[in-house]
Amino acid sequence: MKYIPIFLLSAFLSLTGVIAYAQEANYDESKVGSYTLPDALTTLDGRKVASKKMWEKVRRPEILKLFEDNVYGIMPRAKIKTCYRILEEGEAFGGKALRRQVEITFSSKVQTRKMLVLLYMPKGVRKSPVFVSPNFQGNATTTDDPSVIASQFSTFERAHQTSRWPYECIIDSGFAVATFHYFDIYFDKDDKLSETVYPLFGINDNSELKDNTGKAIAAWAWGCSRVLDYLLTQKNIDKRRTIVMGHSRLGKTALWCGAQDKRFAMVVSNNSGCSGAALSRRNYGETVSRINKSFPWWFCNRYQSYNADVSALPVDQHELIALIAPRPVYVASAQEDRWADPYGEFLSLREAGKVYALYGLETLQGNAFSSIGEHLWKGNCGYHIRTGVHDVTDFDWQSYIEFANRHLKQ
């Protein structure tokens, strides 16, 4: 028998994989099917929510709990000892910014874990607004600044992903930015619960998780809040202008973080897609069943029980966005990122508007998308769909900065 060259075999296997992957997803708007969204403004016992008071006192806590119990899971709430240590500080971008690298050590009786935060702050600004945004590949991959310390679990080369981090523009706009490698909090692999923050809380193995215990997204969101804890101790950071921003799985994270942590004054979801901004009940691109099969370690175990029937989910993603109300929220899509269902992201933001309206804010209306590359901003809800693929671009960042400047009060 002749041997098939390995590279041909692997090319064949990956091609069949790609085909199977593509076949499973629906990209035909006429096949999305009909669905009924849960009503953000009807309580579990059937009462209509007509005031912001009732939203805040009754309905908002209900929805938050439903997301905890059915989608993202509960992050253990035990108090963890936290220490901050400045590992390095210096000037950056020709003296326009101050760079600070802070090691945050979490310790409990059973475990210690460290996260490394890279922070750039504009000089000469008395109180800067700040973006908190986790990165995928490690702090040193986000910049060619040679002083940036490599994150402990990063396997990528320096400056490998700089295009997603236009730090100098952010600084020039008067914003500070803080990032950390998401692996510091939860190694993004199912079998690695021991390599996450969960052992701090005495959870070491999947078998110890309840159906509604959080996993990766809950933990990454927790990590963003821990960075905010530190930032709020800093005099030159403006407490009233803090923004959590994330791309893709970290966009899902940003939404869940902002939904829970009201100290974040604004939330940005960049191409967050399924189980992020996109409506789950739309059969378009990635589905709940598909995401649960590919990434079972992102969500709580109970989320799996909706794989066969997503209509049984007691929430949909417009209600996640609604939890951010009345704070400014920005949802951004990319034209070629059909997997993330751009139209489903838009509809979700539009539906969340019903809660923003309780606060007397203008909201998105109608079925039409914004034109490609144009801003659709109404009240505190911002949306755009830009050209190109699943990514974070300068256009995205510029949009977030401009939106924050308009919507966050100094």
> Which residues participate in catalysis according to the annotation?
248, 390
Stretch that binds ligand GCU, among 194-202, 216-224, 286-294, 365-373 (CB under 6 A): 286-294
**Cβ-based nearer residue to ligand GCU, 238 or 341:** 341
Q: What character string, x for contact with ligand GCU (CB under 6 A) and - otherwise, covers 157-176?
A: --------------------
Kindly identify the residues of this chain, within the stretch 333-392, that bind ligand GCU according to CB under 6 A. Answer: 339
Quote the CA–CA distance of 197 and 222 in Å, as a whole number: 10
Closest by CA position to 117, among listed 258, 241, 225 = 225
**Cβ-based nearer residue to ligand GCU, 246 or 382:** 246
**Cβ-based nearer residue to ligand GCU, 216 or 231:** 216
Quote the CA–CA distance of 180 and 360 in Å, as a whole number: 36
Closest by CA position to 86, among listed 233, 222, 221, 202 = 233
Kindly identify the residues of this chain, within the stretch 292-311, that bind ligand GCU according to CB under 6 A. Answer: 294
Quote the CA–CA distance of 287 and 394 in Å, as a whole number: 29
Closest contact distance (angstroms) between CB of 294 and ligand GCU is: 6
Q: Which two tokens stand for residue 390?
A: 């699943």
Q: Which two tokens stand for residue 88?
A: 């390095």
The three-state (H, E, C) secondary structure of 1-55, written as one string? CCCCCHHHHHHHHHHHHHHHHHHHCECCHHHCCCCCCCCCCECCCCCECCCHHHH
**Cβ-based nearer residue to ligand GCU, 391 or 402:** 391
Polymer length of the chain: 410
143 near 161, Cβ under 8 Å? no
Residue 220's Cβ-side half-sphere holds a number of Cα atoms within 13 Å equal to 32
Closest contact distance (angstroms) between CB of 184 and ligand GCU is: 17
Closest contact distance (angstroms) between CB of 25 and ligand GCU is: 10
Task: Determine, following the binding rule CB under 6 A, whether residue 59 of this chain makes contact with ligand GCU.
Answer: no
Q: Which of 238, 286, 316, 345 binds ligand GCU (CB under 6 A)?
A: 286
Q: Which of 60, 249, 338, 407 binds ligand GCU (CB under 6 A)?
A: 249
Task: Determine, following the binding rule CB under 6 A, whether residue 287 of this chain makes contact with ligand GCU.
Answer: no
Where on the chain is the footprint of ligand GCU (CB under 6 A)? 248-249, 273-274, 286, 291, 294, 339
